[in-house]
């Protein structure tokens, strides 16, 4: 194909506003008596919406932040865009992008798969594209690449703050950006200029010394760290790397480490600005960003003497390749012990499929090192023994490895290059293996929950660096150690791999790739004349109607739909799995409302009594029946209601089906805020034991809502089926701003009112 080099980009919307950020940081530093700060703190605090008003305390204060940018993938962008449409704003408050990557399957190869997914998902892609045009959002077409790789190549910038509606958003930490994975509701906040809330994170410092040996890669560092920290070890923390070892790593290698920080539950991961970041920015057409970053290098590293909540020391020179899994990313085994590990567990030794690439590991360096292994083996006449699939992270990577020959090496070895999309990483993979058949696969991806890749719970999925995955594909055995074991070439002669080699950046620069995937302008102009296309007959997309404002009166005749016992996560409130296809259709997805909740009155899951006809039915059926009769309803919930995720559907659905308030022993904070944003009043019992006094079918009225103010008490008058009444004290946590959301019916109604005014 034609030579089409990456050109210098317009960086006006990409370069972080360093002057403003350093000014903000000075204000915060004064408040904090000039104590030295970690890099994570510097970047986060410099994005405070009101830096003069906040005293940030790590692990305690809730910060109101103003992110620089938003990125959304095609699955989660649907509800985010549908909601943004309600704001009445002509364009997004911050530069935003949409990436079509998750909805593309891996069946027959790149071109066919992209074409087929465009047919299968036409209405979704058309909707996203028309919304993007209308509001000036960059739209990356199906097949253009995976969100995190595209962000790294185009938008990530040192010291910036980005929200992304995908858990591996922290990938951009490889370019020194604080990039946080969130739900669609948070993305809407940033796009509608509603301050975005985050609890001031604690900071784990990872001190890197030494430099990686020839067989080890950045992936191995994070695979080892996952073993040390476990899947929960990073929760509530930002992982911040420092130490002289940092300067030995490539920018894309650091991105891999930040990407998989999500696997230990970290809020995000972050590296200080390095020369490899400068080179990467320059080679991807962003010299203006690197020049600005060079001038602000002081801001882009931790202060001397900064305090970390915990420090982990890693000597890169001692890192050996690791293989993690199966079924959990924190089950970490050094390559040298992997053979024994397989034998001890009595697992089959056969490796059926080997997959490299994905958002985690498809840099030029990854592809070159993997190709160096494939070339050694093919040159020696060793045949590949397992299926071998390559997922480039972007069209830029694909076109560059096509030009530089790595793609040909993979194909000569019998490998297949798939679309620049998520494909097998997100379960969009048509395999020949039968469901239920035990088999092992090795991937260079980041996640390996059961069934994740192919929907088969018996597929043992292991994670490794792409060069290790590639070498092992030639053995077709899990017990093969490419560092020490040999294979037989076509003449029966012993063949042993030399360590992988490869450049971190292409000597001839990056190729931009095919015109079909031409990147959108970094600063697209909004076009108010665009009609957003939603087919009224669609079962996957539905325009949202704004929720009704509250009339300011007390709530009367609120029926208790269900009293929930024990754990009720956002998954119990709005289940995932097969329901994901309805993410853009509130009415259809609402059919799953609370189906995972256990009824405290009968001990059954998803079974309640409809008091209007005394029949038992599922929770969504009874909720719909109440809605059709204009009966408002509530949920009585146990502790930590709504824990788990930022899934905004959990709040949207209960509101849609007719619940103006939820009463619990306690709320998970993010869900509590999400309820408020949708105009649902969250109340908690003043006395925890009052939970025992209410049951399904009781009728509730409020006292105190007329004078609702921050900290004001609310009384619940409960009428039992026998007519007896009791009074229960409740409290709320609404701030003055949040009260406005409840009054207007939702946060977006409030924005719309302000836009109109």
In sequence order, which residues have a C-beta less than 8 Å from that of residue 86 and are 6 or more positions away? 544, 546, 746, 748, 749, 752
In the complex, minimum distance from the CB of residue 433 to ligand F3S, in angstroms, rounded to a whole number: 20
C-alpha to C-alpha distance for 98 and 75, rounded to whole angstroms? 10
Place of tokens 């659905």: 653
For ligand F3S, the closer CB: 102 or 559: 102
C-alpha to C-alpha distance for 196 and 606, rounded to whole angstroms? 34
Place of tokens 């697209």: 524
Reference 256, options 369, 403, 409, 141; nearest CA is: 369
Alpha-helical regions (H) of 419-573: 466-475, 570-573
For ligand F3S, the closer CB: 234 or 679: 234
- Rounded to an integer, what is the distance from CA 706 to the centroid of its chain? 40
Burial of 197 (0-12, 13-18, 19+ CB in 10 A): middle
In the Cβ-directed half-sphere of 734, how many Cα atoms lie within 13 Å?
A: 29
In the complex, minimum distance from the CB of residue 140 to ligand F3S, in angstroms, rounded to a whole number: 13
- Told to judge if 447 belongs to the known catalytic residues of this protein, a careful annotator would answer yes
Question: CA angle, 541 as apex, 536 and 544 as ends, to 5°?
Answer: 80
Task: Give the alpha-carbon dihedral of 187, 98, 581, 460, to 10 degrees.
Answer: -100
- Told to judge if 101 belongs to the known catalytic residues of this protein, a careful annotator would answer yes
Residue 712 CA: distances (Å) to CA of 188, 478, 660, 690, 736: 29, 63, 18, 19, 11
Place of tokens 């293996």: 433
Structure tokens at 522: 């970094």
Of 47, 69, 102, 559, catalytic = 102
Contact residues for ligand F3S, defined by CB under 6 A: 101-102, 146-148, 166, 168, 358-359, 422, 425-426, 445-446
* Neighbour-count burial for 354-364, b at 16+ CB within 10 Å, e otherwise: bbbbbbbbbbb
For ligand F3S, the closer CB: 168 or 278: 168
DSSP state of 497: P
In the Cβ-directed half-sphere of 485, how many Cα atoms lie within 13 Å?
A: 18
In the complex, minimum distance from the CB of residue 546 to ligand F3S, in angstroms, rounded to a whole number: 32
Residue 560 CA: distances (Å) to CA of 217, 277, 556, 679, 698: 56, 56, 12, 18, 5
Is the peptide bond between 371 and the residue preceding it cis, with omega within 30 degrees of 0? no
Structure tokens at 188: 């809407």
For ligand F3S, the closer CB: 295 or 576: 576
For ligand F3S, the closer CB: 152 or 608: 152
C-alpha to C-alpha distance for 339 and 72, rounded to whole angstroms? 40
Mark residue 199 as left, alpha or beta (left: phi above 0; alpha: psi -120 to 50; beta: remaining): beta
**Max CA separation in the chain (angstroms):** 91
Of 647, 655, 671, 732, catalytic = 647
Can you say whether the dihedral through the CA atoms of 136, 138, 141, 147 is positive or negative?
negative
In the complex, minimum distance from the CB of residue 427 to ligand F3S, in angstroms, rounded to a whole number: 8
Of 166, 330, 454, 610, catalytic = 166
- Number of DSSP helices (H) and strands (E) in the chain, helices first: 23, 29
For ligand F3S, the closer CB: 148 or 647: 148
C-alpha to C-alpha distance for 512 and 531, rounded to whole angstroms? 31
For ligand F3S, the closer CB: 330 or 610: 330
For ligand F3S, the closer CB: 48 or 182: 182
Can you say whether the dihedral through the CA atoms of 130, 126, 149, 6 is positive or negative?
negative
Of 96, 130, 332, 645, catalytic = 645
Pairing of strands 558-563, 699-703: antiparallel
- Told to judge if 545 belongs to the known catalytic residues of this protein, a careful annotator would answer no
Structure tokens at 243: 């130490």
- The DSSP bridge partners found for residue 615 are 610
For ligand F3S, the closer CB: 271 or 445: 445
In the complex, minimum distance from the CB of residue 152 to ligand F3S, in angstroms, rounded to a whole number: 12
- Contact by Cβ (8 Å): 502, 87: no
DSSP structure string for 393-431: SBHHHHHHHHHHSHHHHHHHTT-EE--SS-GGGGT-B--
For ligand F3S, the closer CB: 103 or 277: 103
C-alpha to C-alpha distance for 20 and 651, rounded to whole angstroms? 35
In the Cβ-directed half-sphere of 273, how many Cα atoms lie within 13 Å?
A: 21
Reference 68, options 89, 88, 97, 90; nearest CA is: 97
For ligand F3S, the closer CB: 101 or 395: 101
DSSP state of 162: E
Query: So which residues are the catalytic ones?
Result: 101-102, 166, 447, 645, 647
């Amino acid at each position: 194909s034609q030579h089409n080099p990456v050109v210098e980009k317009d960086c006006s919307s990409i370069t972080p506003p360093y002057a403003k950020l350093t000014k903000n940081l000075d204000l915060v530093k004064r408040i904090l008596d000039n104590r030295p700060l970690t890099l994570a703190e510097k970047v986060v605090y410099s994005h405070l919406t009101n830096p003069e008003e906040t005293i940030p305390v790590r692990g305690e204060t809730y910060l109101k932040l103003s992110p620089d940018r938003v990125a959304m993938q095609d699955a989660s962008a649907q509800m985010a865009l549908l909601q943004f449409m309600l704001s009445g704003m002509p364009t997004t408050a911050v530069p935003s992008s949409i990436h079509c990557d998750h909805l593309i399957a891996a069946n027959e190869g790149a071109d066919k798969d992209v074409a087929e997914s465009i047919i299968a998902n036409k209405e979704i892609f058309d909707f996203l594209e028309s919304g993007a045009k209308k509001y000036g959002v960059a739209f990356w077409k199906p097949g253009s690449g995976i969100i995190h790789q595209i962000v790294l190549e185009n938008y990530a910038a040192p010291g910036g703050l980005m929200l992304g509606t995908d858990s591996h958003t922290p990938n951009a930490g490889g370019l020194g950006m604080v990039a946080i994975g969130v739900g669609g509701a948070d993305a809407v906040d940033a796009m509608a200029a509603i301050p975005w809330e985050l609890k001031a994170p604690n900071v784990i410092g990872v001190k890197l010394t030494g430099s990686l040996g020839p067989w080890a890669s950045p992936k191995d560092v994070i695979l080892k760290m996952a073993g040390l920290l476990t899947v929960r070890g990073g929760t509530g923390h930002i992982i911040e790397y420092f130490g002289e070892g940092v300067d030995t790593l490539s920018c894309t290698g650091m991105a891999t480490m930040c990407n998989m920080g999500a696997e230990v539950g970290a809020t995000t991961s972050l590296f200080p600005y390095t020369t490899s970041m400068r080179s990467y920015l320059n080679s991807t057409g962003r010299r203006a960003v690197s020049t600005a970053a060079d001038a602000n290098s002081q801001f882009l590293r931790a202060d001397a003497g900064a305090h970390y909540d915990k420090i982990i020391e890693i000597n890169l020179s001692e890192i050996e390749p690791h293989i993690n899994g199966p079924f959990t990313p924190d089950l970490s085994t050094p390559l040298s012990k992997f053979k024994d590990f397989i034998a001890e567990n009595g697992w089959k030794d056969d490796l059926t499929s080997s997959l490299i690439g994905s958002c985690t590991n498809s840099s030029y360096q990854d592809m070159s090192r993997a190709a160096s292994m494939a070339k050694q083996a093919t040159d020696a006449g060793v045949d590949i023994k397992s299926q071998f699939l390559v997922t480039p992270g972007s069209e830029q990577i694909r076109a560059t490895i096509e030009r530089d020959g790595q793609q040909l090496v993979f194909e000569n070895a019998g490998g297949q290059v798939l679309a620049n999309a998520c494909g097998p990483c997100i379960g969009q993979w048509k395999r020949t293996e039968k469901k239920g058949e035990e088999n092992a696969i090795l991937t260079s991806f980041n996640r390996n929950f059961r069934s994740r890749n192919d929907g088969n719970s018996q597929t043992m999925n292991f994670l490794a660096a792409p060069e290790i995955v590639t070498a092992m594909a030639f053995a077709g055995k899990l017990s093969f150690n490419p560092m020490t074991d040999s294979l037989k070439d076509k003449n029966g002669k012993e063949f042993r791999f030399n360590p992988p080699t490869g450049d971190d950046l292409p000597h001839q620069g990056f190729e931009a790739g095919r015109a079909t995937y031409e990147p959108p302008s970094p600063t697209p102009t909004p076009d108010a004349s665009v009609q957003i296309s939603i087919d009224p007959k669609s079962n996957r997309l539905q325009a949202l109607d704004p929720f009704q404002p509250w009339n300011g009166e007390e709530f009367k005749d609120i029926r208790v739909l269900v009293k929930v016992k024990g754990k009720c996560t956002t998954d119990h409130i709005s289940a995932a799995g097969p329901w994901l296809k309805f993410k853009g259709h509130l009415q259809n997805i609402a059919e799953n409302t609370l189906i995972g909740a256990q009824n405290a009155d009968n001990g059954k899951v998803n079974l309640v009594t409809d008091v209007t006809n005394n029949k038992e039915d599922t929770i969504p059926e009874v909720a719909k029946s109440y809605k059709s009769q204009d009966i408002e309803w509530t949920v009585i919930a146990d502790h930590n209601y709504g824990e788990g995720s930022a899934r905004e559907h959990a709040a949207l659905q209960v509101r849609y089906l007719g619940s103006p308030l939820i009463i619990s022993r306690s709320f998970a904070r993010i869900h509590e805020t999400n309820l408020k944003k949708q105009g649902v009043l969250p109340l908690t019992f003043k006395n925890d034991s009052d939970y025992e006094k209410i049951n399904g079918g009781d009728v509730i009225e409020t006292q105190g809502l007329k004078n609702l103010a921050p900290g004001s008490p609310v009384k619940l008058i409960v009428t039992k089926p026998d007519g007896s009444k009791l009074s229960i004290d409740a409290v709320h946590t609404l701030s003055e701003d949040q009260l406005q959301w409840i009054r207007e019916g939702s946060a977006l109604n409030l924005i719309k009112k302000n836009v109109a005014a």
